[in-house]
């Protein structure tokens, strides 16, 4: 480990630029001038007429409201904020809760009759297509059969929702509408097979 003296003795000697001493002396001269000017500023006395203009304004008593207007503005802002908060909280005083339950109900015998009738009609359509394949290949017949298939899918979805949420009026109306449409389309398909 080297000592400080050994480290300093190994430093190279560097000659400064020729203008370095001039720059340093110019900077020191500028700082001296700056200090002298600051001292002159501190010793400057204001003119007498300046104090003559300021003193009358010191004796004027300002009205109380003029001094308190920032307090009044702050108080108005607080009252407004509190009023807004009370109004905002008072808007919804009711608590809304949503609850649902599922219930499985045994099938009724009346629905069994409807199911068996619709199944009989669909079986009749399938058997008729096997006998008269020409009638079943027309675009009109295929469109009706596609609609019937779509209505059967919707019927199954509605029946599942009724099992999940109970017999809601909207679901029952949708089920009746789908059943009526299915009956009409089944009737049209049977009529096309009868021709």
Sorted by where each begins, the domain ranges of the chain are: 18-81, 109-194
Of the pLDDT bands very low, low, confident and very high (cuts 50, 70, 90), residue 111 is very low
Q: Is the pLDDT of residue 157 over 90?
A: yes
Distances (CA, A) of 47 to 38, 53, 87: 19, 11, 60
122: Cβ contacts below 8 Å, ≥ 6 apart: 148, 186
Percent residues over pLDDT 70 in the chain? 83
Question: Rounded to two decimals, what is the model's pTM?
Answer: 0.40
- Contact, 190 vs 124, CB < 8 A? yes
């Amino acid at each position: 480990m080297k000592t400080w003296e050994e480290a300093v003795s190994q430093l190279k000697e560097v000659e400064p630029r020729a203008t370095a001493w001039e720059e340093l002396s110019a900077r020191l001269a500028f700082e001296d001038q700056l200090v002298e000017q600051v001292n002159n500023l501190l010793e400057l006395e204001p003119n007498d007429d300046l104090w003559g203009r300021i003193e009358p304004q010191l004796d004027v008593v300002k009205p109380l409201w003029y001094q308190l207007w920032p307090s009044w503005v702050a108080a108005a802002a607080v009252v407004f904020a509190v009023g807004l908060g009370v109004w905002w909280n008072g808007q919804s005083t009711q608590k809304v809760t949503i609850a649902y339950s599922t219930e499985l109900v045994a099938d009724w015998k009346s629905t069994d009759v409807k199911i068996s009738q619709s199944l009989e009609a669909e079986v009749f359509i399938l058997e008729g297509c096997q006998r008269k394949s020409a009638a079943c290949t027309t675009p009109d017949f295929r469109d009706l059969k596609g609609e019937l298939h779509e209505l059967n899918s919707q019927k199954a979805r509605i029946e599942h929702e009724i099992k999940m949420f109970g017999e809601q009026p909207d679901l029952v109306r949708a089920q009746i509408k789908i059943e009526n449409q299915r009956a009409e389309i089944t009737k049209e398909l049977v009529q096309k097979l009868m021709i």
